[in-house]
């Protein structure tokens, strides 16, 4: 599993994870595990699996550390 930090959350049910590169990784609220999307906070560390979405790479199985 990869690790990153939540950079931005939206009120539309998706967010972005800072993975240490110049491109942040998109994730959807349906890919959050072990908690609800509403309980996530910007700056929080998470683990995830990298997957492929319709628009490119995305994070799946997003779990707070």
CATH of the domain at 8: 2.40.50.140
Predicted local distance difference test score (pLDDT) of residue 64: 98
The boundaries of the domain holding residue 25 are: 2-64
Q: Say how many domains are in the chain.
A: 1
Predicted local distance difference test score (pLDDT) of residue 34: 97
44-52 mean pLDDT:
97
Predicted local distance difference test score (pLDDT) of residue 65: 95
DSSP sequence for 3-25: EEEEEEE-TTSEEEEE-SSSSPE
Predicted local distance difference test score (pLDDT) of residue 15: 98
Full-model pTM: 0.94
10-26 mean pLDDT:
96
More confident residue, 53 or 63: 63
């Amino acid at each position: 599993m990869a690790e990153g930090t939540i950079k931005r959350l939206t009120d539309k049910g998706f967010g972005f994870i800072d993975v240490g590169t110049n491109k942040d990784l998109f994730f959807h609220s349906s890919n959050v595990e072990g908690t609800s999307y509403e309980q996530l906070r910007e700056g929080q560390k998470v683990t995830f699996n990298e997957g492929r979405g319709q628009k490119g790479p995305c994070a799946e199985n997003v779990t707070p550390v």
